[in-house]
Chains A and B, each alone.
Chain A
Amino acid sequence: MTLKLGIPSKGRLMSKTADWFGAKGLDFTVDEGRAYTASLGFDGVEPVLLSAGEIPRELAAGRIHLGVTGMDVVREKIPGWEMQVRELAPLGFGQAVLVIAVPDFWADVDTLHDLDAAAAAFRAVHGHRLRIATKYHRLVREFLRTKGVADYQLVDSQGATEGTVRNLTAEAVADITSTGETLRANHLRILSDGVILKSEAMLYKARNADWTGETRGILERLAGQLGLAL
């Protein structure tokens, strides 16, 4: 019985994860010869390479014991995420903020209150609800419901979301940004109370995984090595 640890299978997220384990004295390596096998050099831990977007699903299903992925995808993809996974350690990279942004020339809109009022007026003029382009449907909808914003609709945008306003497929966007530079370049401005979530890469524990005496023991040893409180 090994403890399965889901690791993002490519890009910066994978190399930063390797760096994080490296700083804790663990040598994460990918076998170049046989793709998608990896080692952490820690007895009993089996790294599993997965797309970062699939790690939440695998964690929720308990098919992996631990996993590294972004807080944004976990909260978007796992309903009632707190019941399914536990945040063990923020990893200090992959920082991004999910925000609501509107065209900068909307001189009348600064807050969610303004957005709501603008949406009501927009619907009266155009005959349909004000469109917000996003790929974070659940997070955006819950946020706007909590804040009491009405007369909007979410339209799906899986990429190049900043361009949707100019392309007339949305009036506003809800997207991940790190510096806000791309939004500014597209003449979009973040609402002053429009921060939905501050996200970073996180090490998660799957509550539904097969936690036996053995895997629990491995986790305790690993936590000791990583300096984590369980």
Chain B
Amino acid sequence: MVETAETRAAAARLLTRFEALGAERVEAAILQPAGPLLDLYGEDIRARAYVTQDPLRGEVMLRPDFTVPVVEMHLARGNGAARYTYAGEIFRKQEEETGRPSEYLQVGYEHFGGADEPAADAEVFAAFHGILAPLGLKPATGDIGLLTAAIRGLSTTEARKGALLRHLWRPRRFRALVERYRAWRPATALHGSPDSPEIGLRSRAEVEARLAALATDAKEPPLSGMEAEVLDTLLRLKETAPVVLSQIRDIAVDFPAVAPAADMFSARLDALARAGIDVDTLPFEASYGRTTLEYYDGFVFGFYAEGRPDLPPVATGGRYDALTGVIGGGAAVPAVGGVIRPGLLGELGVAP
């Protein structure tokens, strides 16, 4: 699909709006090395990104998002506080006939190094909210940090917590893991023949190490029913933000591990209110951002056109501190940002 002149003009106006908020305009190459993207997103990204072969650089991808190159650029500059904005095409393969474009413009705004986390979350959300205000979109918010705090607070082993955290974004496997840890299970049987030769890179020592880990895990008590229910309850929370906050406070009475997350939630609502957002009507859904936005690890948000379930969200964003640590191979940097698809504005018949 070719972007129309109207869409390009809308993208240019959005860039100007973000620049007016103090963002520096940056660019990113369309051909991105495939390795870092594959390492981050796993093999699934191959189903979504165009992969091609460069004779000198090896596998490259047509830019599937801006986040990774913008984080790399920010880290290479050395780590101060910064705000960036960008606009350009991104490319997403559609393996099924969805009618959605596989090439479209995206305009983004990223905020790095904000030491006051609730204030930075609120600033970014308010920026998108303000720019999109004339469209009458429905906001959605969530908080991956609430879920990770709950998992880290479980009274079970680090190994089990690590497995749950790793699969937080895969709801089916996450549920299977919770069920597995709730049930009592006998020590694992050995599979295969003891006479089979050791072949391949995964060594017998690695097999023995996992068997030992399984034996240790089998001696652990099952996950308590109360804690499994807490996870369930948290994942189902869906109400206006203040109502959810009071529900989290209730949960924190029996499960104090979520108390700091509730404090953060509360501070963020205060910061949002100071930024002019009507938090009393702001929707919150604990599971929001759990399925598709794998790199977010804190506040997440989106803006949707009501009555148009056929359209993807007009804007999405969130906090991704941990991603910066993964990309940089060092300490995480506070990072929160989001993107708008200007092509959808024309579909909605508006020009912000």
Which of B42, B192, B201, B206 has a CB less than 8 Å from the CB of A151?
Answer: B42
Contact between B43 and A152, CB atoms less than 8 A apart: yes
How far apart sit A150 and B163, CA to CA, in the bound complex (Å)? 11
A141 and B196 within 8 A (CB): no
Closest residue of A by beta carbon distance from B173 = A148
For residue A46, CB closer than 8 A to chain B, the reply is: no
Question: Which of A120, A142, A152, A166 makes the CB contact (< 8 A) with B200?
Answer: A166
Contacts of A152 in B (CB 8 A): 42-43
Q: Are B210 and A117 in contact (CB under 8 A)?
A: yes
- Bitwise, A107-118 to B at CB < 8 A (1) or not (0) is 111100100111
- Given A141-B44, A145-B44, A150-B170, A171–B210 Cβ distance below 8 Å? no
Given contacts A126-B201, A168-B201, contact A113 B176 (CB under 8 A): yes
**A187 and B196: CB pair below 8 A?**
yes
Q: Which residue of A lies closest to B94 (CB)?
A: A79
- Could you say which interface size class chain B belongs to? 35 or more
Residues of B within 8 A of A77 (CB): none
Question: Would you call B209 an interface residue if the criterion is a C-beta within 8 Å of the partner chain's C-beta atoms?
Answer: yes
Query: What's the least CB distance linking A52 to chain B, in Å?
Result: 23
Chain B CB within 8 A of A189 CB: yes
A125, CB-defined interface residue at 8 Å: yes
Q: Is B194 an interface residue (CB 8 A)?
A: yes
Quick one: given A104-B196, A105-B196, A107-B207, are A148 and B201 in contact (CB under 8 Å)? no
- Chain A residue numbers with a CB within 8 Å of B174 are 148
Would you call A107 and B191 a contact (CB within 8 A)?
A: yes
Contact present for B192 and A105 (CB under 8 Å) = yes
Question: Are A189 and B191 in contact, CB atoms less than 8 angstroms apart?
Answer: yes
**B residues less than 8 Å from A83 (CB atoms):** 97
A216 interfacial by beta-carbon distance below 8 Å: no
Check if A71 is an interface residue, CB within 8 A of chain B: no
Contact mask for chain A residues 129-172; partner B; CB cutoff 8 A; 1 contact, 0 none: 11000000110011011111111111000000000011010110
Q: A187, B199: Cβ atoms under 8 Å?
A: yes
Q: Are A106 and B170 touching (Cβ within 8 A)?
A: no
B192 touching A144 by the CB < 8 A rule? no
The interface residues of chain A lying within 8 Å CB-to-CB of B95 are 79-80, 138
Interface size class of A (residues with CB under 8 A): 35 or more
Within B284-314, which residues are at the interface with A (CB < 8 Å)? Answer: none
Q: Does B186 contact A (CB under 8 A)?
A: no
User: Is residue B47 contacting chain A, with contact meaning CB distance below 8 A?
Assistant: yes
Chain B 249-261 interface 0/1 with A at a Cβ cutoff of 8 Å (1 = within): 0000000000000
Known contacts A79-B96, A141-B44, A105 near B207 by CB under 8 Å? yes
Contacts of A120 in B (CB 8 A): 163, 166
A42 within 8 Å of B (CB atoms): no
Q: A83-B97, A148-B167 are in contact. Are A165 and B200 (CB under 8 A)?
A: yes
Question: Is A103 within 8 A of B97, CB to CB?
Answer: no
The answer on a CB contact under 8 Å between A103 and B196 is yes
Chain A proximity of B32: nearest CB distance (Å): 17
Kindly identify, within residues 197 to 229 of chain A, every residue whose CB is under 8 Å from any CB belonging to chain B. none
Q: Which residue of A lies closest to B42 (CB)?
A: A150
Chain B, 191-215, CB within 8 A of any chain A CB: 191-194, 196-202, 204, 206-207, 209-211, 214
Chain B residues near A130 (CB-CB < 8 A): 202
Of A122, A148, A150, A187, the contact of B176 (CB 8 Å cutoff): A148
A125 to B205, CA, bound (A): 11
User: Which of B166, B170, B194, B202 has the largest count of A CB atoms less than 10 A from its CB?
Assistant: B202
A residues touching B (Cβ–Cβ < 8 Å)? 79-80, 83, 103-110, 113, 116-118, 120-122, 125-126, 129-130, 137-138, 141-142, 144-154, 165-166, 168, 170-171, 187, 189
Q: Which residues of B contact A (CB under 8 A)?
A: 38-39, 42-44, 46-47, 95-97, 163, 166-167, 170, 172-174, 176, 180, 188-194, 196-202, 204, 206-207, 209-211, 214
**Interface pairs (23), CB distance under 8 Å:** A79-B96, A80-B97, A83-B97, A103-B192, A103-B199, A103-B200, A104-B192, A105-B193, A105-B199, A105-B207, A106-B191, A107-B190, A108-B210, A110-B189, A110-B191, A120-B166, A147-B173, A148-B167, A148-B170, A148-B174, A150-B167, A165-B199, A168-B200
Closest 4 CB pairs of A and B: A148-B173, A104-B196, A148-B170, A104-B192
